[in-house]
Amino acid sequence: MIGARKALGFVVTGAVCALGGYWVGFRSGGDAALSAEFAHRGVIATQYIAELNANRNSNVVSMLELDVDNGLLWGDQLLQDPMFGLYQHVLGFPNTGDVQKSVQRLGAYRLANPLVPGASISSDINAIAKRNSPK
């Protein structure tokens, strides 16, 4: 009987440790991914600044439009994920309502400023913008 209790104790302890490690690992991994993204965005910002200082504004506009489209694509993918509601609690994501508002804002921007017709991705982006624009 004591051997069974010990075995059960080890199993329960192992399960709690595994779940705790899984939880903390994902939360730490999410923070690390966000930190890496912000470092990358900082490097890109230096390129924007260099372009502005060289009076090449059209290049900066193109890069910023790409950021809008990337935000719209990845934000839409996040909103379409069936686990989206759990991300805030499990992975420590920012307020999910804020993410939805941001994607809606990007959708409204893209509808007001559509991509050049004929671009290979323009119909996809515009469809996503319509789906996510404020109703």
pLDDT in tens, 97-132: 777 888 888 888 888 888 766 555 667 777 888 888
Does residue 87 surpass a pLDDT of 80?
A: no
Q: Assess whether 42 and 100 both reside in one domain.
A: no
Q: Number of folded domains in the chain? A: 2
Q: What is the mean pLDDT of residues 51-60?
A: 85
Last residue of a domain, one of 55, 71, 89: 55
The pTM (predicted TM-score) of the whole model is: 0.64
Which pLDDT does position 31 carry in this prediction? Answer: 62
What are phi and psi for residue 95, nearest 5 degrees? Answer: -50, 125
Q: Assess whether 68 and 97 both reside in one domain.
A: yes
Compute the distance between CA of residue 135 and CA of residue 131 in angstroms, rounded to an integer.
Answer: 9
Compute the distance between CA of residue 135 and CA of residue 81 in angstroms, rounded to an integer.
Answer: 20
Asked if residue 132 lies in contact with residue 76, where contact means CB atoms within 8 angstroms, the answer is: yes
Q: Could you list the residue range(s) of the whole structural domain that residue 11 is in?
A: 1-55
User: What Å distances lie between residue 39 and 31, 33, 90, 116, CA to CA?
Assistant: 12, 10, 24, 31
Confidence of residue 68 (pLDDT cuts 50, 70, 90): confident
Q: Assess whether 47 and 61 both reside in one domain.
A: no
Q: Assess whether 46 and 89 both reside in one domain.
A: no
Q: Assess whether 93 and 132 both reside in one domain.
A: yes
Which pLDDT does position 70 carry in this prediction? Answer: 85
Between residues 89 and 53, which one has the greater pLDDT?
53
Amino acid type, 44: I
Q: Assess whether 36 and 68 both reside in one domain.
A: no
Q: Assess whether 42 and 61 both reside in one domain.
A: no
Does residue 76 surpass a pLDDT of 60?
A: yes
Q: Assess whether 32 and 98 both reside in one domain.
A: no
